[in-house]
């Protein structure tokens, strides 16, 4: 479907990436909870070596992250896993860049330093990832999409120069991908009804056997899987004492908290996609 939120800076970023000729390699930051949905497959056509970073891996299922890592490595990508507070990522990135450039017989055409462009979907953690590499906060970060609005170059030392870019999405994505990116906070959350999205997330957790345990653990009751999704959301509101002044459950607030708790990993380490 056509994405309803595709601001001008995102279109410009995609154009800049497609026309860039001044980089040695691409570092693509993925959300480890949805590696396939957060991949920009359009990057494959640029004939540049790509290092994939499974970011926010501390929020994702360890077993599935390993499976995705093997899957991407089998496609000839270098793959790193990262968490928000990881400090040793710089050396690992340099090793991966050298390895992939050597494999592709690429030497920097510009200077002794690798020139790398960092790309990814909005709110994938690109800027935090760059700050970890730089060792200080040079790039503004917030836990919402659309914070980085223009390209910015950062010189680390004589080994690495990094370009941070605004998040970019394909203007046309299918409903399943849109849903996953939505619940992960990639797509601006003011565009969708929170109750509908929370109900869709509950449906998704119920429908996928590998995620059933998370619903059971939230309520400490296996019978919850037999309830309709709207009743599960109501039980969640009651469990958090989210009651309106009139005595009814505050479903809007419950939906917001349910989605936020999911994004923050309070339900456990969840990956929404398996390798197929």
**Any idea where the domains of the chain sit in the sequence?**
8-164, 193-263
From edge to edge, which strands make up the β-sheet containing 25-31?
78-81, 50-55, 25-31, 114-120, 160-164, 152-155
Side-chain half-sphere CA neighbours of 265 within 13 A: 12
61 to 1, 58, 173, 239: CA distances (angstroms): 29, 8, 24, 26
Q: 248 forms bridges with which residues in the sheet?
A: none
User: Residue 142 and residue 269: Cα distance in Å, rounded?
Assistant: 21
User: Residue 116 and residue 192: Cα distance in Å, rounded?
Assistant: 35
User: What is the structure's pLDDT at 143?
Assistant: 47
Query: Per residue of the chain (276 residues), what is the pLDDT tens digit?
Result: 444 544 544 555 556 566 566 788 889 999 999 999 999 887 877 778 889 999 999 999 999 999 999 999 999 898 998 875 556 677 787 788 777 766 766 655 545 677 888 999 888 888 888 887 777 666 544 444 444 446 778 887 777 788 888 888 776 788 899 899 999 988 776 667 899 999 999 999 888 887 888 888 888 888 888 999 999 999 999 999 999 998 999 999 999 999 999 998 888 899 999 997
Contact 91, 2 (CB under 8 A): no
Extract the annotated binding site for GTP.
55-58, 123-128, 167
Q: Is 185 exposed, middle or buried (0-12, 13-18, 19+ CB in 10 A)?
A: buried
User: What is the structure's pLDDT at 72?
Assistant: 96
The tokens for 153 are 């170059």
User: Residue 131 and residue 142: Cα distance in Å, rounded?
Assistant: 13
Contact 225, 212 (CB under 8 A): yes
Extract the annotated binding site.
55-58, 123-128, 167
User: Residue 166 and residue 177: Cα distance in Å, rounded?
Assistant: 20
Contact 254, 199 (CB under 8 A): no
Residue labelled with tokens 């691409």: 26
User: Residue 114 and residue 97: Cα distance in Å, rounded?
Assistant: 8
User: Residue 72 and residue 77: Cα distance in Å, rounded?
Assistant: 6
Please give the DSSP secondary-structure letter assigned to residue 2. B
Tell whether domain 8-164 is in CATH 3.40.1170.10: no
């Amino acid at each position: 479907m056509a994405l309803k939120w595709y601001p001008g800076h995102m279109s410009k970023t995609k154009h800049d990436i497609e026309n860039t000729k001044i980089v040695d390699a691409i570092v693509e930051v993925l959300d480890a909870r949805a590696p396939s949905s957060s991949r920009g497959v359009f990057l494959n056509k640029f004939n540049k070596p790509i290092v994939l970073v499974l970011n926010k891996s501390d929020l994702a299922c360890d077993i599935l992250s390993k499976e995705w890592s093997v899957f991407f490595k089998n496609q000839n990508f270098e793959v790193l896993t990262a968490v928000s507070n990881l400090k040793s990522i710089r050396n690992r990135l340099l090793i991966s860049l050298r390895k992939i450039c050597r494999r592709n017989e690429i030497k920097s055409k510009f200077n002794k330093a690798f020139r790398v462009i960092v790309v990814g979907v909005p709110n994938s953690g690109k800027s935090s990832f760059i700050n970890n590499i730089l060792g200080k906060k040079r790039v503004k970060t917030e836990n919402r999409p659309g914070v980085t609005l223009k390209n910015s170059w950062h010189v680390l030392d004589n080994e690495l120069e990094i370009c941070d870019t605004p998040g970019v999405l394909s203007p046309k994505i299918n409903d399943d991908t849109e849903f996953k990116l939505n619940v992960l906070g990639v797509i601006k959350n003011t565009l969708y009804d929170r109750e509908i999205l929370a109900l869709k997330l509950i449906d998704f957790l119920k429908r996928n056997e590998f995620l059933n345990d998370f619903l059971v653990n939230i309520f400490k009751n296996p019978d919850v899987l037999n309830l309709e999704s709207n009743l599960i959301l109501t039980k969640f509101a009651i469990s958090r004492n989210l009651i309106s002044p009139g005595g009814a459950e505050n479903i809007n607030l419950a939906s917001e908290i349910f989605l936020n708790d999911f994004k923050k990993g309070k339900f456990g380490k969840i990956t929404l996609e398996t390798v197929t």
